[in-house]
Amino acid sequence: MGILASVNSNQGTTMLHAKAIELQGDRLLPPGLTVVTDSEPELRGAFEAHGKALTFRRHSAVYTPEDVAGHLYWICEGEVSLERSVLDGREFTLDHCGAGTVFGEIELLLEMPRQYAAVCRADAALLTLPRHKVMELRGADPGFAWTLNRILAERQSRLQARLEALLFRSAHGKVAQMLADLARDHGRPTREGMLIDYPITHQEIANLIAATRETVSHAFIEFRNSGLIATRERRTVILDLNKLNEIALV
């Protein structure tokens, strides 16, 4: 067992109490949307049976870099982004985690301090499992262990794909790919085109693709002038998804 694993779990509990307001009453768990699904009863059952319910305000941090990785988290409601600041002051967003998503597993399993900040993009309701319970269930329940390992593998696969895109695509290609992804995940067909019904700023897109806000804004202007997208009430409408997919390959 590593040194970090021997840190008193009360430190993590105290930190959580300082940052969150405990939920009262019944805990209503939504259907899984991305990682945790109803076909994974072991993981769902573990959070229902042993998880502590917490709620966080928008923009508040669930944890920050160098915090002890003492808990595994499941998002019941809201959204959490995993972020990291680089040396020049810019921020890089590792991932956006929505309702039904588990996060915080990497450092917990590797027994290392948190490498990223987990920040709520909206008010969020979470369930948490302490590390000792995660390790206990991982050793005693093969279904729980398999599901947790699959979640880790899926996140690593997704991050590898993003890294390849960041290395080999142009700035406009990365913005186009981001818009195509948002249309796939959050698109709502309208008479005009595919409305991205999801609040995201140019700065947040820039953080996701390791670009500057100015670069993203310039790409949006060019896409609008080319008739590929339109802006309606601070939301983006995709007018030509096929063309955006072509640009995403550049």
Average pLDDT over residues 124-144: 93
pLDDT over 50 at 26, yes or no: no
Helices then strands, counting H and E runs in the chain, come out as 9, 13
Q: What is the largest CA-CA distance in the chain?
A: 59
> In whole angstroms, what is the distance from residue 49 CA to residue 208 CA?
35
pLDDT digits (tens, 9 = 90+) for 9-25: 334 433 443 344 333 33
Q: Is the pTM of this model over 0.85?
A: no
> In whole angstroms, what is the distance from residue 91 CA to residue 105 CA?
21
CB neighbour list of residue 247: distance below 8 Å, 6 or more residues apart: 172, 173, 176, 228
pLDDT over 60 at 59, yes or no: yes
Looking at residue 22, its pLDDT comes to: 37
Looking at residue 74, its pLDDT comes to: 92
